[in-house]
Every structure is written in structure tokens, then in C-alpha cells.
Chains A and B, each alone.
Chain A
Amino acid sequence: MSKDMTIHLKYWKQAGPDVPGHFEEYTLDTVNEHMSFLEMLDVLNEELQLKGKEPVEFDYDCREGICGSCNLVINGQAHGPKAEVACCQLHMRNYKDGDKITIEPPRAAAFPIIKDLVVDRSAFDRIIEVGGYVSVKTGSAQEANALPVEKEKSDEAFEYAACIGCGACVAACPNASASLFTGAKLAHLNKFPQGEVERSNRAVAMVDQMKEEGFGDCSNFAECEAVCPKGISISAIAEMRRDYMKALVS
């Protein structure tokens, strides 16, 4: 049996979108190294409630790194210290007895805080709405092999399709740019013959929507790639720039 650890937490509390927030502190004495980071927060909330205090709100759903709901900024790093790991899959064995952990919500004008550590990421949905889809005729399903897709392209598309829309890229970017997310969506769809048709319009519409939503410019810091739980490379941003430029001449 592993020994319990003591962890000193400092987390953001904010009652609603338009009210000022503040940090609160709490020390947990019963953190087990096998807990996930979110399970540790469950224990925190249990203790808070037993003491008659309000629990701290945080976002999650799958807790297995595939839904993109969790997106805590832990000690100044989106999803915490481990590369290619969403914070729901981060384990407390990465910390040691007596550690201090600061937890903040992703901070961006385009991601207004709903409560505590929960932010509204519908700006991402609106970027998808303007072009992140392919238009296909409805009706009975097409024969699967009617549209050949090259193996390399489908592999590459798959890499970009791995984006779970968590927003860590925005959270970690010094400029709060959404270029990695948007680039991943564009690169994913544009690799397929089905996506090819709307390629130009899609690139222009989605790039314009990023600005509309109030995300910042990209400065090529590449911090987004470092924090992306799916390891999406900034080559997605290169794809986006290429598609945008191609749209100018098509």
C-alpha cells in the first residue's frame, strides 16, 4: 500500500461570468498516488462539502482522455506537467508529498468563465459551424470503396482528427490563439476527397471566425504543440496557412 500524500491546493473560485474571482487554498492529507488528478479533486469536493463549504466546479466527462472536457491549467501548464496526457489521465504519482499545486481555468477572452474552473468553449463550436463539416447527400450509405483515399492521406487526416477540442492550445498560447485547433480541423477535413470540394471556403471561413471570436494571432511559439494531449503538431497550422493562401488563387 502506498502512503497517503499531503498536497497543498490553491484553486480559482469565481461565482459567475461577470463577477471577480479569487484563489482559495485547501490542504488534502489523504491523496493516494493511484488517484487521477480529477479523483483528487473529487476528494477535495467531498471534504469541502462535509465542512459545509461550496465545492469547486471543474469540467469533465469521459475521464479517459477522449472527450476533451477537462482542461485545467495546473501549475501554469495546460493539462499539467506530462506531455500528451489530458489532466483526467494525469496521476497523482507525478507529485510528491508536500507539493503545492495551483489550479487555474484556461484564460482567454473567447473562453468566458462560467464558474470556478469551468469555461464556455462554444467559440470552438462556432468555428466548426462556419466550415468544420463536409456536405454530403443524405440517403442510403454510399458504397464504402466508391471514393478511394490514399493511405498516407488517411493516416495524416487521422492524426489531425485526434483533436478532442479541449482548448489547451488556447490556454497555453501566450497570445491565446486558436490556430492549432482550427488548423487541426482544417487539415483533417481537407485531406479527404469529401472535404476537398469545400476546402477553400472552409479555410477562409474558419480562419476569419477565429478572429471574430476574439482569439489572438499566432506568434509561432509552438507552446500549443507542447501541451496538446493528442500531440497535434504545428504542421496543422502550416496546413491552415497553405489552405488559406490557396483559397486566394482559386
Chain B
Amino acid sequence: MPSFIKAINSQVGRKIMTGITGIGLMLFLIGHIVGNLTIFGAPEAFNIYTKTLEDLGPLLYVIEAGLAFFFLYHTILGVSIWWNRRKARPEGYKKYQTKGGPSHQSLASKSMVYTGIIILVFLVIHIWTFKFGDTEMVKLASGEMARDLRALVIEKFTDPLYAFGYTFVLSLLILHLSHGFWSAFTSLSMKSKEASKKVQMGAYGFAIVIMLAFIFIPLYIYFTGGSCDAALISCN
């Protein structure tokens, strides 16, 4: 029996960990979008949601550290798998083409490392903008004070650079997940052809539905100017 360290560094272990971290990150995205959509709820809903998260205190740090670990581990594995190709095939083909059929070589699968790295750069900007962005304090109906993140979000997304920058990066995430969702289950040893077909359909569904939900927010705010007259933005 190999030691745990040896096992996760084996070619099988690396792939299983890519899958596990990938699924972890997808679960995080589900949580993230559910939270984000409160921006279209009652005027206070979004700020109550963000305050609830901040009030978790030490528990929030633990969650954040876990997430950071998942992102980092996923990135290290993804980049190193990609990097290893050069060593495994120092001299490439003059001519190369996929044979199609059962192959999963596609724009999405071939660009995983590029879409991934862009997502990572985006993540840094994203955290900088919202987690560490300047906000006013507002008084909630409960009397407590909270950061007015809702105002910051609306302000940022009325800026075309943010609104369309977000839309662009999130579209790349659709690409990442349209292969990644299937690939993660395959890494975790999904075997049957029928399951594989269904999971690939699920991958397209998941990637498109979740990312359209994400993309909807900046675009909606941008095109309505974030004004209180917009159907989905209630101010009072």
C-alpha cells in the first residue's frame, strides 16, 4: 500500500485531486450565485447576506482558507499537468489532428489551462474590488450597521469596463466547465458510456445555466444603469 503522499502525487492521484478540487470549486460557484442573486431581492437583502457572511468571523476565515487552498491546489495540478507535456513530448508533430469519434478534444478541453489562468487573474481583481473595496456604512432595518456592498456592486457594474470584463471572463468559465464538469467525473472513475454521455450533457447544462445567471447580474445592472426604475432593482 502506498503512503498517502505518494498516492496523491501519482498520476492517478493527481487527476483525482484535480477532479475533487474542481468539484469543490463548482460547489462554491453554486453557493456564490445563490448569494449574488439576493441583489435582486428586497433592498436590504444583499447587504444582510454579506453581513451574515462577515459575521461568521473565524469560521469565515476557515472557509476562505479552504477555498484558497482548493484554488491553489487546483491551479498547481492543472498547470503542472499541462507543463509536463513538454517533458513527455519534447519534439511535437509537424501535423496533428484529432480523430474525432469518442475523442473529447475540443476548444474547451484544449484551452483549460488558459481559461483557468485568466480566471485566476480575474479572481484577484474581483476580490480586490469587492472584498477590499471602499464602501459606505448603512443602517439596516434591524438597527445594525453594515457595509453597503450593494451600492458598490451597482456602481461598479454601471462601468462598462467592469460589466463587460466580467461578462468576458465568465464566458470563459462556461468553456472551462463545459469540459471540466465531465472531466471531473471521469477523473473520479466514471466508467459507463451511458453515464458519460449524460454527464457531458449535464456539463453543458450546468456551465450554461450557472454562468448565464452570473453574467445576468453585471449586464442587467449595466443596461438599466442600476436605477431604481428597473424591474428587478427595488430601492425601497
Q: Which residues of A contact B (CB under 8 A)?
A: 23, 73, 75-78, 81, 83, 102, 104, 107-110, 172, 174-177, 179, 200, 204, 207-208, 210-211, 214-223, 225-227, 233-235, 238-242, 244-245, 247-248, 250
Inter-chain contact A219/B81, CB cutoff 8 Å: yes
- Using CB atoms, name the residue of chain B closest to A110: B88
Residues of B within 8 A of A (CB): 1-2, 4, 7, 10-16, 81-82, 84-85, 87-105, 109-110, 112, 182-183, 186-193
> A108 and B183 in contact (CB under 8 A), knowing A76-B97, A247-B1?
no
Query: CB < 8 Å: which of B87, B97, B99, B191 contacts A235?
Result: B191
A15 vs chain B, min Cβ distance (A): 15
Shortest Cβ distance from residue B159 to the other chain A in the assembled complex, whole angstroms: 37
Q: Contacts of A235 on B, CB cut-off 8 Å?
A: 191-193
CA of A179 to CA of B88, assembled, Å = 13
Chain A residues whose C-beta falls within 8 Å of the C-beta of B104 in the assembled complex: 220-223
* Chain B residues whose C-beta falls within 8 Å of the C-beta of A107 in the assembled complex: 89, 91-93
Choose one: A75, A76, A214; the contact of B88 (CB below 8 Å): A214
- Closest-by-CB residue of A relative to B95 is A76
| CB-defined contacts of B89 to chain A, threshold 8 Å | 107-109, 175-176, 216
- A77 adjacent to B97 (CB under 8 Å): yes
Task: Assess A238 versus B91: contact at CB under 8 Å? Given A210-B11, A219-B81.
Answer: no
Complex interface: chain B residues within 8 A of A78 (CB): 99
Instruction: Give the complex CA separation of A239 and B192 in angstroms.
Output: 11
Complex CA–CA separation, A90 to B15 (angstroms): 35
Identify which of A172, A220, A239 contacts B191 (C-beta below 8 A): A239
Cα distance, A36 to B183, chains bound together (Å): 37
- Nearest CB to that of A235 among chain B residues? B191
| B99 engages A211 (CB within 8 Å) | no
B189 adjacent to A214 (CB under 8 Å): no
The answer to whether B90 touches A109, judged by C-beta atoms less than 8 angstroms apart, is: yes
The answer for the CA separation of A76 and B193 in the assembled complex, in Å, is 27
Residue of B nearest to A75 (CB): B95
- Point out the residue from B10, B105, B183, B192 that lies within 8 Å of A208, measured CB to CB: B10
Taking a contact as CB atoms under 8 Å apart, the answer to whether B95 and A245 are in contact is no
Cα-based distance from A223 to B101 in the complex (angstroms): 9
| 17 contacting pairs across A/B (C-beta < 8 A) | A76-B97, A77-B97, A108-B89, A109-B90, A179-B11, A208-B10, A210-B11, A211-B10, A217-B11, A219-B81, A220-B109, A221-B104, A235-B192, A241-B187, A241-B189, A244-B7, A244-B13
Q: How far is the CB of A190 from chain B (nearest CB, A)?
A: 13
Asked whether, in the complex, the Cβ of B84 is within 8 Å of the Cβ of A216, the reply is: yes
A220 contacts B187, C-beta separation under 8 Å = yes
Contacts of B186 in A (CB 8 A): 220, 234, 238
Given contacts A110-B88, A217-B11, A248-B2, contact A233 B93 (CB under 8 A): no
For B100, what are the chain A residues with a Cβ–Cβ distance below 8 Å? 226
* A23 and B85 contact, Cβ closer than 8 Å, known pairs A222-B103, A233-B102, A241-B187: no
Rounded to whole angstroms, the CA-CA distance of A200 and B1 in the bound complex is 8
Apart from A23-B94, A225-B103, what 15 extra A-B contacts exist at CB < 8 Å? A107-B89, A109-B87, A109-B90, A174-B85, A174-B110, A207-B11, A208-B2, A217-B84, A219-B109, A220-B186, A220-B187, A234-B102, A235-B191, A235-B193, A239-B191
Contact of A227 among B1, B2, B12, B99 (CB under 8 A): B99
